[in-house]
């Protein structure tokens, strides 16, 4: 049995940059299978793309949390069975950019806070027990305040706000997602790695160094 390490964070947190750095550094002395969700190249992500493109509703908050969670879960299940189950069972390190954790971050906040614990219980039962997806050995949440991440996202799209999906474009929704993430991190034992100090982004190398340290502790 291998190990599963998940890197998660809001859009604009530097997740993709850190994921690529980790994949390269860990591969030097470890067998690593890198995976990323949603798997936009596969038809299993069709419902996810419809959701993010606003085809189901232009407002993410209006799409049922359990329905949206199922869109992402189906994509993960297909990915596991088709592309990395053998690697995991064969003892490799699986490095994931987003995972089941993303449902807790992006969908849980749609519900009243009094229902958050029951949602987390449902999510674990659904994806880990019923779908039999592997549970992570380590989850790292890259914490970036929404005000800073929005600047980075806008820069990524060269100022074209129309290119943002329905999550990226809704600042209040993203603030709620960050609160959901910090709640889930406390409840589920995720590691939180700050990516900013005051109003500035921390150096990429400082963040990746901390991530490598945390990952080495579980290998």
Band (pLDDT 50/70/90 cuts) for residue 208 is: very high
Question: Which pLDDT score, from 0 to 100, does residue 159 have?
Answer: 59
For the whole model, what pTM was predicted? 0.92
Nearest to 127 by CA among 97, 100, 94, 98: 100
The arithmetic mean of pLDDT across residues 53-81, rounded, is 96
Q: Which domains does the chain have, with CATH numbers?
A: 3-216 (3.40.50.300)
By mean pLDDT, which of 8-12, 28-32, 189-193 is the weakest?
8-12
Window from 44-48, 54-58, 71-75, 99-103 with minimum mean pLDDT: 54-58
Q: Write down the pLDDT at residue 155.
A: 63
For the chain, how many residues are written? 219
**How would you class 132 by CB atoms within 10 Å of its CB: exposed for 0-12, middle for 13-18, buried for 19 or more?**
exposed
206 band by pLDDT with thresholds 50, 70 and 90:
very high
Arithmetic mean of pLDDT, 98-121: 97
Q: Are 7 and 95 in contact, with CB atoms under 8 Å apart?
A: yes
What integer pLDDT is reported at residue 90 of this predicted model?
97
Question: Across the chain, what does the average pLDDT equal?
Answer: 93
Asked if 70 and 77 touch (Cβ cutoff 8 Å), the reply is no
The alpha-helical segments, DSSP class H, found in the chain are 15-26, 46-52, 65-79, 85-89, 101-106, 116-123, 146-156, 171-188, 204-216
Q: What is the pLDDT of residue 122?
A: 98
Does 198 score more than 90 pLDDT? no
% the chain with pLDDT above 70: 92
pLDDT of residue 151: 77
One-character DSSP codes across 174-185: HHHHHHHHHHHH
Contacts of 198 (CB under 8 A, 6+ apart): none
Neighbouring C-alpha atoms within 13 Å toward the C-beta of 150: 14
Query: How far, in Å, CA of 78 to CA of 180, rounded?
Result: 26
Residue 171: C-alpha distances to residues 41, 153, 166 (Å): 27, 11, 10
147-190, pLDDT tens digit by residue? 887 777 766 666 555 656 666 667 888 899 999 999 999 999 99
Asked if residues 166 and 59 have their Cβ atoms less than 8 Å apart, the reply is: yes
């Amino acid at each position: 049995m291998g190990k599963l390490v998940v890197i998660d964070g809001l859009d604009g947190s530097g997740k993709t940059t850190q994921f690529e750095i980790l994949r390269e550094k860990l591969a030097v002395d470890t067998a690593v299978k890198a995976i990323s969700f949603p798997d936009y190249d596969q038809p299993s992500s069709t419902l996810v793309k419809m959701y993010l493109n606003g085809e189901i509703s232009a407002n993410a908050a209006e799409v049922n949390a359990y329905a949206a969670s199922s869109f992402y879960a189906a994509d993960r299940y297909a990915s596991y069975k088709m592309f990395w189950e053998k690697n995991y069972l064969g003892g490799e390190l699986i490095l994931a950019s987003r995972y089941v954790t993303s449902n807790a971050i992006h969908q849980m906040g749609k519900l009243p806070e009094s229902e958050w614990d029951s949602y987390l219980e449902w999510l674990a039962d659904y994806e880990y027990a019923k779908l039999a997806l592997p549970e992570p050995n380590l989850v790292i949440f890259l914490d970036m305040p929404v005000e800073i991440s929005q600047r980075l996202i806008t820069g990524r799209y060269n100022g074209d706000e129309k290119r943002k999906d329905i999550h990226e474009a809704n600042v209040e929704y993203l603030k709620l997602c960050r609160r959901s993430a910090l709640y889930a991190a406390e409840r589920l034992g995720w590691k939180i790695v700050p990516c900013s100090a005051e109003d500035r982004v921390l150096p990429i190398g400082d963040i990746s160094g901390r991530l490598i340290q945390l990952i080495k502790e579980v290998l």
